């Protein structure tokens, strides 16, 4: 198993942010939710996009939703492979900081902090929305990309502040999320064949149910 040390100035930054949070009762209660609750937006975004595609009969929305699903699967597989080779205990355990798990919405978290699923997924989706907005020259995608990029920053800051992750856990997996989004989007012409088949199945099912 591999590990790597956190630069001292980043470790000091984590402890300072954690102390700042615990100095305020309001932030102590709010920060765990800011660090965790946003993940529920991603499946909602995927489902809403696909439903809009069904309602408006627009293939582009369906492909967009399936692309997001492909990104999620890619990040999930990559993260689970990386976990086999790295071991970095949660910083709050090493630094003897207050345990944040009881206030998190998702309490059954892995014992290691690297890689960060939240950081990778949040940045992958934000980057994909931005790439999609440029490809289609679509203001809605651009707006969503900006919103989800801000969400990624908030969630990353929150997870460092409550000492679930180190700054490098977040920074490295933001970069990985950026790369994964670019790679999958860059190979979209290969994915389209799979997506077209899945959409064909969905349309046959819908037609059989309603007609």
Q: How far apart are CA 18 and CA 160, in angstroms?
A: 8
pLDDT tens-digit profile of 44-78? 888 898 888 888 888 878 888 888 888 888 888 88
pLDDT tens-digit profile of 86-115? 778 788 777 776 665 555 555 556 667 777
Q: How far apart are CA 154 and CA 49, in angstroms?
A: 23
Q: Give the pLDDT score at 105.
A: 55
Average of pLDDT values for 113-135?
84
Q: Give the pLDDT score at 154.
A: 92
CA angle, 10 as apex, 8 and 15 as ends, to 5°?
95
Q: Give the pLDDT score at 132.
A: 81
What percent of the chain has pLDDT above 70? 91
CA distances, 38 to each of 34, 72, 111, 135, 162 (Å): 7, 15, 21, 26, 15
Residue 163 tokens read as 């000492």
Q: Give the pLDDT score at 109.
A: 62
Q: How far apart are CA 38 and CA 104, in angstroms?
A: 12
Taking 60 as the threshold, does the pLDDT of residue 211 lie above it?
Answer: no
Q: Are 103 and 32 in contact (CB under 8 A)?
A: yes
Taking 90 as the threshold, does the pLDDT of residue 4 lie above it?
Answer: no
For residue 202, the tally of other CB atoms under 10 A from its CB is 15
Taking 70 as the threshold, does the pLDDT of residue 175 lie above it?
Answer: yes
């Amino acid at each position: 198993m591999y590990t790597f040390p956190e630069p001292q100035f980043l470790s000091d930054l984590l402890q300072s942010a954690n102390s700042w949070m615990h100095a305020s009762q309001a932030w102590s209660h709010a920060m765990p939710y800011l660090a965790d609750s946003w993940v529920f937006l991603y499946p909602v975004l995927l489902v809403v996009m696909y439903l809009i595609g069904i309602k408006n009969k627009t293939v582009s929305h369906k492909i967009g939703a399936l692309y997001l699903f492909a990104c999620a699967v890619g990040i999930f597989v990559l993260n689970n492979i990386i976990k086999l080779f790295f071991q970095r205990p949660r910083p709050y355990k090493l630094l003897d900081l207050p345990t944040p798990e009881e206030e998190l919405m998702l309490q059954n978290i892995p014992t290691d902090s690297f890689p960060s699923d939240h950081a990778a997924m949040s940045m992958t989706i934000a980057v994909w929305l931005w790439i999609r907005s440029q490809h289609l020259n679509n203001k809605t995608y651009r707006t969503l990309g900006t919103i989800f990029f801000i969400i990624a920053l908030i969630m990353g800051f929150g997870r460092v502040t409550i000492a679930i992750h180190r700054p490098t856990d977040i920074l490295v997996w933001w970069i990985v999320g950026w790369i994964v989004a670019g790679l999958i989007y860059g190979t979209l012409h290969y994915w389209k064949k799979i997506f077209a088949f899945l959409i064909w199945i969905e349309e046959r099912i819908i037609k059989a149910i309603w007609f």
